Amino acid sequence: MEQNFSLMAQSRANYFTAGSPVQFVRVELLKGDVNGEIAVCLTFKNISPETMTGLVIHFKCKDPTGRILCEDDFYYEQLEARPGEMFGSDDAVYVSDTSVASVEIEQDRAFLNGRGVDLRGYKRVRLPAPRVLPGSIARALQSATNNPALTCVPQDTQYGWFCACGAFHPNEENAQVCSECGGDRGYIKSSLTRLLEQARQAAERQQREINAVVDPQAAAAATAAAAQQAINHQEEQAPAAPYYPPQQPAPQPAPYAPQQAAPALDAEAERVQRYAPQGRLFEEETGEYTDEYSEESEDGTRTFDTEETGEYTDEYTAERPARRGRYADEEEENEEDVVAERIIRLAPPITGVICALIVAVSLIYHFVIA
């Protein structure tokens, strides 16, 4: 009874045979719809410049535990595979009722236009795994090239190039068009480059918009920078006002008061103001003077010696020379001080004598002359 097989799994070859005219492409596992048997199918490609008429291989099929399920030779006969053409996907090399996990292939012999070529001396080279494109970029590339098979990053290696469909093309093939998806190598690469540049620009633009709207730190930094710039501009335009500490009120201007003429001073007051410019007066009885600005002593006074010595004691001005006279000059003594002192000293007795003479003259005039 015939049954149909549907694709259950497939895997690309992770190596190629350098220098060989035939390239192993992929392995496929097909499942029958009647009894569930697993059919193993292998795909090869003719990369030589001649038509391939036959191929002999040796294969091993293993289960998930690594146990060999089948090991045998398989002959592909009556082929007419032209250069770049693939074959073998319709022929099952092994049918199993158990799961097949892996298949190993060794090339034995190829026939090119009836001429046999030994393939056992060619070395196998391991290939890197194709890099898968992000979903959005893959869909954009498929739409731009109208090729739904493009899902990988096209890349070049020292042994050949990978198409965006994942197919590897060795240098021996010398092809610019993928034999599996039909895509042009140069066109696919240029289309992907353009799409990646557009995606990069869109991502940068979106990131700038997000930063401008969402990022509070960036917004705060921009606001602070603008405020600082405004402050700097204001400082350049106008001078800064004087600063007063918060706890001290700014000084207020004094109210206007018309100036009045100073009252005339009598001779005594003028002399006091002249010889005592700091408001210090000596007391005649004790020889002490008061100083309303002094805070050195508890009673606010300083001691002054009697006139006989002409000396005074002051713990803060002990090195200053002694001064004479009733009104002490803070700066220096001059001849006027000496004259004033003599006048003050002689004035009382002279005044008394004059008054006695006046009284005597008055009595004589009243009692004798009158």
How far is the CA of 59 from the CAs of 46, 117, 137, in angstroms? 19, 19, 38
Instruction: Give buried/exposed letters for 66-95 (b at 16+ CB in 10 A, else e).
Output: eeebeeeebebeebebebbebbbeeebbbe
In 10 A of CB 152, how many CB atoms?
A: 19
Annotate 327-366 with DSSP letters as a single string.
Answer: S--SS---HHHHHHHHHHHHHHHHHHHHHHHHHHHHHHII
How far apart CA 16 and CA 173 sit, in angstroms, is 12
Pick the CATH number of 5-127 from 3.30.200, 3.30.9, 2.40.50, 2.60.40: 2.60.40
Domain ranges of the chain: 5-127, 276-357
Terminal C-alpha separation, the chain: 193
pLDDT in tens, 142-169: 999 999 999 999 999 888 999 999 999 9
pLDDT in tens, 58-109: 999 998 888 999 999 999 998 999 998 999 988 899 888 888 888 999 999 9
Whether this model's pTM surpasses 0.85? no
Least confident of 17-31, 197-211, 285-299: 285-299
Q: Mean pLDDT of all residues in the chain?
A: 75
**pLDDT for the residue numbered 335:** 66
- Take residue 158 and report the two structure tokens written for it: 């020292």
How far is the CA of 158 from the CAs of 88, 171, 172, 356, in angstroms? 28, 8, 12, 147
